[in-house]
Amino acid sequence: MIKNNIHRILLLLVAFSLSVSTICAEEEKAEINVRELILDHVGDAYDWHIATIHHQLVSIPLPIIVKGHQSGWSFFSSAKFHHGHEAYKGFYIAPEGDYKGKIVEWVNGEEVRPWDFSLTKNAATLVMSSLVLIIFILICARWYKKREKTPENASPKGFIAFVELVIMSVVNDVIKPCIGKNYKRYTPYLLTIFFFIIFNNLLGLIPIFPGGANITGNIAITCVLALFTFVIVNFFGTKEYWKEVFWPDVPVWLKVPIPIMPAIELVGVFTKPFALMIRLFANILAGHAIVLGLTCMVFLTVSLGTAMNTGMSILSVVMTVFIDCVELLVAYIQAYVFTMLSAVFIGLSQVEAHHAKH
């Protein structure tokens, strides 16, 4: 049975890659720019491009919200740009330059960025996924709320049991050991980032609408996440934590007259969340880039002949499947790591006086 299925899947892969290569052979006469294509896919966009069928772009227009330096607030659909070919109200998508792909306006003979709060592809996905995540968790919470009076009956089955398993594994294996005794206060935040990251990571792996947007691989997103951790770490830090930053337990000559250690510690305060930001961003971005690159292999090898192209296509599909599986793992690991490191940093900011420890 299984062997049969494997054969069938392999045949399907071959057929699929053959059909893809023939389509490409027909359509892609021009060289494709892989770098451009990947950057385009992992980046943001003003409209949600779903597919291109017979040279016709199928996309969902998204709302554009901009405040020009002279014209004030404008609110219109991205369809007005006609996929970047036309200007509207003095705004247009820069075809090249520093602001390539972004909305710009022409002020005093210079191309400048207006205040751009457009609901871009990433922003739209973000809003949507946030809503879904809220509903999803609230449904689970409602199940518990219904049974609040009778804790003996509140052992869920099926899906909610699985969610509970994930939640409690994060609480018991990550939050509790990393923070210590005050862990209850930070549990909601850490669970929120865990679920937010893993949910958006997984959503990004779905290649078709409504997934595919590279949310957690966008630096703005990870920046805000890291910012939240930074604020919580430093806002709720104990006196001992600040003492360790500005007057650490090292020989005096390292602190006075040149505050070497305090400077290092102070830099550390900022590098910790910075590392969080870069780690998540780079991992997810790289994952998307690899999948896209491997998929592009199909189109790049068209010029090498049918046999070579078929072989490479099969290889490409197999490799893409493999990398996608790895990415599933990475989606979990990155959410886990971000949560764990946030917990560790919070735990470090909760230090008690040394004497109490020993």
State the Cα–Cα distance between residues 212 and 50, nearest whole angstrom. Answer: 10
By beta-carbon proximity to another protein, the closer residue of 65 and 300 is 65
Maximum C-alpha span of the chain: 76
State the Cα–Cα distance between residues 273 and 222, nearest whole angstrom. Answer: 10
State the Cα–Cα distance between residues 317 and 311, nearest whole angstrom. Answer: 10
For helices 260-300 and 219-235, the axis angle rounded to 10 degrees is 160
By beta-carbon proximity to another protein, the closer residue of 175 and 302 is 175
> Please, what is the minimum distance in Å from the beta carbon of residue 118 to another protein?
6
| DSSP, residue by residue, 219-249 | HHHHHHHHHHHHHHHHHS--HHHHHHHHS-S
> Please, what is the minimum distance in Å from the beta carbon of residue 180 to another protein?
17
Q: Which amino acid is at 350?
A: Q
By beta-carbon proximity to another protein, the closer residue of 59 and 120 is 120
The whole-angstrom distance between residue 20's C-alpha and the CA centroid of its chain comes to 29
> Please, what is the minimum distance in Å from the beta carbon of residue 336 to another protein?
17
By beta-carbon proximity to another protein, the closer residue of 19 and 169 is 169
> Please, what is the minimum distance in Å from the beta carbon of residue 357 to another protein?
27
By beta-carbon proximity to another protein, the closer residue of 143 and 242 is 143
By beta-carbon proximity to another protein, the closer residue of 6 and 168 is 168
> Please, what is the minimum distance in Å from the beta carbon of residue 141 to another protein?
5
Nearest to 17 by CA among 318, 288, 292, 303: 318
Question: Is residue 293 within 8 Å of residue 319, measured between CB atoms?
Answer: no
| Binding interface with another protein (CB under 8 A) | 39, 42-44, 65, 99-102, 115-120, 122-123, 126-127, 130, 133-134, 137-138, 140-141, 144-145, 147-148, 151-152, 154-155, 164, 167-168, 171, 187-189, 191-192, 195-196, 218-221, 223-225, 228, 285
Nearest to 280 by CA among 204, 344, 347: 204
State the Cα–Cα distance between residues 305 and 12, nearest whole angstrom. Answer: 21
By beta-carbon proximity to another protein, the closer residue of 13 and 154 is 154
> Please, what is the minimum distance in Å from the beta carbon of residue 223 to another protein?
5
